[in-house]
Amino acid sequence: MIAARMLTAGQIAAIAGGRVVSGDAERACPRISRDTRTMAAGDAFLAIRGPNHDGHAHLASALARGASALVVSEADGLASLPSSDVPVVLVTDTIKALQDVARHVSRESGALVVAVVEVGQTVGPRRCAPGRRPRRSARERS
């Protein structure tokens, strides 16, 4: 989930190179979610098509959970949705849209981005865990 500093549906469309095809472009979208199972009321729902699932199949569920906007890459199934004033943002590629919005929010926030690269799958995350002190090697202990 991305915490977007109260972007509007229109701003999301502009950042992602899309357009608002219905609803109020000024509707605030404080967060963006790509999973209806974990989204909260007020989140914008971004429908990602993956190898196993298509987020576009969950648009009605997103509306039922209180989505503040829908970000989609196809408009085909929109007519079958329940009537709603929720803005719909149409983009070419929802994954690219998510990347563009994340990049924008990161730049605007001035947050420091750190990448941890390690071969081991469990050691790296454990070393980076909050409140975790680094282990000293045997050489350092003696």
The Cα 74–Cα 1 span in angstroms is 22
Q: What is the mean pLDDT of residues 10-24?
A: 94
* Predicted local confidence at residue 113, as pLDDT: 72
17-54 in b/e burial notation, b at 16+ Cβ within 10 A?
ebebebbebebebebbbbebeebeeebbbbbbeeeeee
pLDDT in tens, 116-129: 666 666 666 666 66
Band the pLDDT of 99: cuts 50, 70, 90. very high
Band the pLDDT of 4: cuts 50, 70, 90. very low
* Average of per-residue pLDDT values in the chain: 83
Site of tokens 């981005």? 113
